[in-house]
Amino acid sequence: MRAVLARRRLRSAIILVAPAFVVYTVVVIYPLVASLWGSLLDWNGLTSGRFIALDNFANLFRDPYLPRVVGAFTHNVLWFVGIMVIQNVGGMLIAYLLYTRRGRMGFFQSAFFLPAILSPILVGALWRIILAPEGPLNSVLGNLGVASGPIAWLGDNNLALPCLVLVDAWNWVGLPLLVFLAGFNDIPPEIMESAKLEGASASKALLSIGLPLVMPSIAIVSILTFINAFNQFDIVYIMEGPEGNPGHSTDVLGTLFYQLAFGTQGASGLTEIGIALALATVLMLLLAAGTVVGLRTLGQRIVEF
Amino acid sequence: MKSRFLAVLGSAVLVLAGCSSGTSVTQAPGASAAPSAAAAGTQPSAAVTGDVTVWSWRIEDKDAYKKMFDAFTAKNPGINVTFETTVDTEYETKLTTALRAGKGPDIAQLKAYGELQPLTDAGYLVALDDKIAGLKDFFPAALDGARSVTDKKVYGVPYAMPDMGVFYNKKIFADNGISVPQTYDEFVAACQKLKAAGIIPIAAGGASGTAWALEIMIGVVGPNIYGANTFWNDIESGKATFTDPRYVAALKRLQDLYPYYSPGMEGVDYTTATQQFINGKAAMFMGGSWENGSFKSQNKDLQFDIFSFPPDKAGDAAYTSSFADGSYGLVSASKNQDAAVKVLEYMTSLEWAQAYADLLGWPAGRPGVTANDPVLQSMLKMQANQTPYLSLVGFRWHTPTASEIIQADIANVMAGKMTPEALAQKIQDGVSTWFKPTP
């Protein structure tokens, strides 16, 4: 009797999961396998040819692709660091302020989270207008007497990438704010009270007590930031186009893949699909490895109270 | 119970099988499915009907194309033409994705030269030499842009041979007492006068992914300096490379003109630059024939004309760079090939070319067109001294193309942050990996 029931339950489970599984297979598994297979083939334009094993991967790390790959990877790393420092630390500080001041948390949470609900296209287009040489930012700087002439924020090799990182940070600062605030609110109030009674300053309370206790939140936010920084595409595509203008200074792995797979728009529609698929595979492995390592190391530092 | 379970699993497998399109990524070479009876237009009464879809990236020209296709349908009732556009930056992607899936339009707008080859090599297009009689009327240079280098056949009906020069606002020039400069020194003097009057002399910009517009400026300013067709022959035969002082001097000229560009030009994008010209904030704009129709449609009151960039010495020829912009080709997978061939045949006619010239203002790929538009008349006059648009016609065949290398760094050269010699060296290093001179 129990065996029959168990079998029926198993069957119902499979039937209920099957539709979602089919969709998942078609939309995720099949393209993944096709891409992995395609990265092992020789591509001439749009047609695939013979099996060449890891030649595409070898070529990816040779000239003329190597400098582009290294450049893009470096920019992704800088993006990750930039977001960690500006968005996450910033979010943490604001969360701590709200937590200690017990201010109007609801209002501030909404205000800081508002940019996150905007479509990336809107965000990119909006900031492109603000950062234009004749745009509002330069007007303000000019009126304040800070800048002598219009600054080409998005046209300068050294300024473009930092601008993009700042836009991304502005866009998503609400997320760490929410997560850390929830984390802080989970700390039993007696711990913070006793710290205050013993004369700990606000910063000492944060560093020695607050941070270790919200380690799980920090772990989650860091891993999400890592994945987002290396998957970055939207902001760069909208604000600078996929070619890494100016002068390859805003190349990221996502846009480099796009250029190789679809051709540099306006310069040539010539595609390098084999190299592109190899890059996509490498990026996937990188993200998988990074996430696993991140979960292992950060997961161990949770302080129990 | 069991049968129901199997039915669900079975249908899931069918869904999976049905969705897996394109597993075989190699395509058979383009074998035209329909018999080419309608080719030479010798059967007027065998009423060919069908719905023909045309894909294009010329969003700006949609209204004009509709008028021209309406004229076609009036002559060929039963053939309805639908003209669909996608923005230029996404057109190639959309087209190749559709073609790989065996879908797509009946007629597709095609890029020229190197960018055409992947489509012809993959067999997505039908060779038109034997199908379209009107092709023999076209300029050979126009047909070359629609030719496959593999089998030397023509795969598209060329629609235009644009050239490029300096568009100028006639009213601003008149108000400031400036006449069309005949030498480079006169040009600089005019720029200084305009700048003193608070007008942007030259609207320029190629930021945020639009750096192709800056490459066009090399095509406008360069030929007089690097020596037009002499240099073209030298570089094609291997006697000269991009590091030649003549080409470096052309890049330097663009750097010298930096004070007269839009303020903060490195951060201005192409669309903003065109707006500056259209709104009368700037006096000049260096661009190609395609801007003619676009400027007119955005500001009907704009009085403008175009001149070739002046030579250094008075009396020397002023050259313009020209190229075959593209063509309209027949898709192998089309289900309405007979009707599509009729449309393409119409596109080779003088009637189409004349309407194209009148409504869109591009120089045609075939002779016989009379220019009613004064700007087009100027462009046709400029064609008397033409030279191939160097980076496109000669060097956009394999990656890294000269164009992508130029576009990455030309703004930095113009702004003085990179030397012309350094960019020239980069271009040469890049193209030398694939370029074979033909002595």
Which stretch, A103-107, A189-193, B26-30, B430-434, has highest mean pLDDT? B430-434
pLDDT tens by residue, A275-289: 999 999 999 999 999
Predicted confidence (pLDDT) at residue B35 exceeds the cutoff of 50: no
Beta carbons of A49 and B26 less than 8 Å apart: yes
What percentage of chain B carries pLDDT values higher than 90?
Answer: 56
Q: What is the pLDDT, as a whole number, of residue A266? A: 61
Tell me which of A244 and B106 has the higher pLDDT: B106
On whether the CB atoms of residues A205 and A228 are closer than 8 A, the answer is: no
User: What is the model's pLDDT at position A191?
Assistant: 84
The answer to whether the CB atoms of A25 and B16 lie below 8 A apart is yes
Domain contains A304: no
Strand B164-169 and strand B282-288: pairing? antiparallel
Q: Is A11 on the interface with B (CB under 8 A)?
A: yes
- Write out chain A residues lying below 8 Å of B16, CB-based: 22, 25-26
Mean pLDDT of B319-346: 92
- DSSP assignment letter at A302: P
Residue A202 is assigned to a structural domain of this protein: yes
| pLDDT at residue number B182 | 95
Nearest alpha carbon to residue A164 among A123, A135, A136, A112 = A123
Nearest 10 degrees: Cα torsion A72, A77, A78, A83: 130
Same domain, A119 and A28: no
Kindly state whether residues A15 and A111 are assigned to the same domain: no
B1: pLDDT strictly greater than 60 = no
Average pLDDT, rounded, for chain B? 86
Judge if A18 and A76 occupy the same domain.
Answer: no
Closest Cα in chain A, distance from residue B419 (Å) = 13
Within the 129-188 window of chain A, which residues sit less than 8 Å (CB to CB) from chain B? 131-134, 138, 149-157
- Which residue in chain A has the smallest CA separation from B20? A26
- Exposed e or buried b per residue across A158-197, where buried means at least 16 C-beta atoms within 10 angstroms of its C-beta: ebbbebbbbbbbbbbbbbbbbbbbebbeeeeeeebeebee
Judge whether residue B186 has pLDDT over 90: yes
- Strands B157-160 and A47-51 turn out to be unpaired
In this structure, the answer to whether residues A140 and A286 fall within a common structural domain is yes
Q: Report the pLDDT value the prediction gives residue A203, as an integer from 0 to 100.
A: 79
pLDDT of residue B209: 84
Task: Please tell me the distance from the alpha carbon of residue A85 to that of residue A155, in angstroms, as a whole number.
Answer: 24
Query: Contact A268/B399, CB-based, under 8 Å?
Result: yes
What tens digit of pLDDT does each residue of A54-80 get? Answer: 888 998 898 788 989 999 999 999 999
Give residue A51's pLDDT.
87
In total, the C-beta contacts within 8 angstroms joining chain A to chain B are: 183
Could you tell me if B45 lies within 8 Å of chain A, comparing CB atoms? no
Answer yes or no: do B121 and A47 touch at CB < 8 A. yes
Q: Is the per-residue pLDDT at B18 higher than 70?
A: no
* Rounded-to-integer distance, Cα A247 and Cα B409, Å: 5
Closest chain A C-alpha to B261 CA, distance in angstroms: 12
Looking at CA atoms only, how far is residue B404 from chain A in angstroms?
5
Instruction: Report A:82-111 residues touching B (Cβ under 8 A).
Output: none
- The C-alpha atoms of residue B406 and residue B409 are separated, in whole angstroms, by 6
Same domain, A163 and A281: yes
Distance from CA of A277 to the nearest CA of B (A): 14
State the burial class of residue A119 (Cβ atoms within 10 Å of its Cβ: 0-12, 13-18, 19+).
exposed
Q: Which of A19, A37, A58 is the last residue of a domain?
A: A58
CA dist list (Å): A199 to A202, A210, A212: 9, 15, 19
Phi and psi torsions of B264, nearest 5°: 65, 40
Eight-state DSSP code of residue A233: -
Residues A46 and A74 in one domain: no
- Which tops the pLDDT comparison, B372 or B185? B185
CA A221/CA A232 separation, integer angstroms: 16
* A135 shares its domain with A282: yes
Three-class SS state of A48: strand
d(CA B415, CA A157): 11
Residue A275 CA, chain-centre distance (Å), reads 23
CB pair distance less than 8 Å for A242 and B209: yes
Give chain B's radius of gyration (CA, Å): 24
Does residue A40 have a pLDDT over 70?
Answer: yes
A154 within some domain: yes
SS3 annotation, chain B: CHHHHHHHHHHHHHHHHHHCCCCCCCCCCCCCCCCHHHCCCCCCCCCCCEEEEEEECCHHHHHHHHHHHHHHHHHCCCEEEEEEECCHHHHHHHHHHHHHCCCCCCEEEEECHHHHHHHHHCCCECCCCCCCHHHHHCCHHHHHCCECCCCCCECCEEEECCEEEEEEEHHHHHHCCCCCCCCHHHHHHHHHHHHHCCCEEEECCCCCCCCHHHHHHHHHHHHHHHCHHHHHHHHHHCCCCCCCHHHHHHHHHHHHCHHHECCCHHHCCHHHHHHHHHCCCEEEEEEECCHHHHHHHHCCCCCEEEECCCCCCCCCCCCEEECCCEEEEEECCCCCHHHHHHHHHHHCCHHHHHHHHHHHCCCCCCCCCCCCCHHHHHHHHHHHHEEECHHHHCCCCCCCCHHHHHHHHHHHHHCCCCCHHHHHHHHHHHHCCCCCCCC
In which band, very low, low, confident or very high, does the pLDDT at B23 lie, cut at 50, 70 and 90?
very low
What is the token pair recorded at B211?
């750096």
Does residue A188 come out as left (phi exceeding 0), alpha (psi in the -120 to 50 range) or beta?
A: beta
Q: What is the ipTM of this complex?
A: 0.80
CA–CA distance, A129 with A124 (Å, rounded to integer): 9
Domain at A217, CATH number: 1.10.3720.10
Q: Which residues contact A279 (CB under 8 A, 6 or more apart)?
A: A60, A69, A253, A256, A257, A260
Q: Is A71 on the interface with B (CB under 8 A)?
A: no
Are residues A196 and A174 part of one domain? yes
Q: Which residue has the higher pLDDT, B39 or B120?
A: B120
pLDDT at B70: 92
- Of A16, A39, A58, which closes a domain? A58
Q: Is B8 within 8 Å of chain A by CB?
A: yes
Number of domains in chain A: 2
Count Cα neighbours of B2 within 13 Å in the Cβ-side half-sphere. Answer: 1
What is the number of other CB atoms lying within 10 angstroms of the CB of residue B101? 11
If you measure CA to CA, which chain A residue comes closest to B115? A269
For residue A187, is it within any domain? Answer: yes
| Domain range B48-162+324-348, its CATH number among 3.20.10.10, 3.40.190.10, 3.40.640.10, 3.90.1150.10 | 3.40.190.10
Of A45, A155, A244, the CB nearest to B207: A155
Virtual CA dihedral for B378, B380, B384, B390, nearest 10 degrees? Answer: 100
Q: Does A60 touch chain B (CB under 8 A)?
A: no
Sequence ranges of the domains in chain B: 48-162+324-348, 164-322+379-431
**pLDDT at position B4:** 52
pLDDT (tens digit per residue) in A222-259: 999 999 999 999 999 999 988 888 888 999 999 999 98
Its domain, for residue A45, covers 2-58
Same domain, A79 and A169: yes
Kindly report the nearest CA distance between residue A114 and chain B, in angstroms: 26
The reported pLDDT for the residue numbered B429 is 93
CB within 8 A of A6, min separation 6: which ones? none
Longest dimension (CA), chain A: 86
Q: Which residues pair with B94 in a beta bridge?
A: none
Residue pair B209/B268 in contact by the 8 Å Cβ criterion: no
- Give the architecture-level CATH label for domain B164-322+379-431: 3-Layer(aba) Sandwich (3.40)
Q: How confident is the model at residue B7 (pLDDT cuts 50, 70, 90)?
A: very low
Contact (CB, 8 A) for A232 and A167: no
| Diameter over CA atoms, chain B | 94
